[in-house]
Amino acid sequence: MQQITIRGLEPKIEQEIRKIAKGSHKSINQVIKEIIHNEFRGSTAPASSLKELAGGWSEKDAAEFERSIKSCEQIDEAMWK
């Protein structure tokens, strides 16, 4: 892949990128690549987790589901004889 040169970064942004790189023991290049990938991941990359793919329930939805299946958790002893 060809190189891309970024010019005119605000000093504050450059310092933050350098700080992240140093703190995570990564190269500046790697940190910038991760920032770019994270920006575009939502529209082009596949889901990275099942929760991201399928979504999740709110606590209210989960509690309602638990209440609705409660009767299914009871064992009918007569059926097992």
Q: Is 42 within a domain?
A: yes
Q: Please give the single-letter amino acid code of residue 22.
A: K
Q: Cα(14)–Cα(10) distance, rounded to whole angstroms?
A: 6
Number of domains within the chain: 1
For 60, half-sphere exposure in the C-beta direction (CA atoms, 13 angstrom radius) is: 0
Q: Is 4 within a domain?
A: no
Q: pLDDT digits over 54-80, tens only?
A: 778 888 998 999 999 988 888 888 888
Q: Is 31 within a domain?
A: yes
Q: Is 32 within a domain?
A: yes
Range of the domain at 23: 11-80
Q: Is 2 within a domain?
A: no
Has residue 7 got a pLDDT over 70? Answer: yes
| Residue 17 near residue 32, CB atoms below 8 Å | yes
Q: Is 54 within a domain?
A: yes
Q: Is 5 within a domain?
A: no
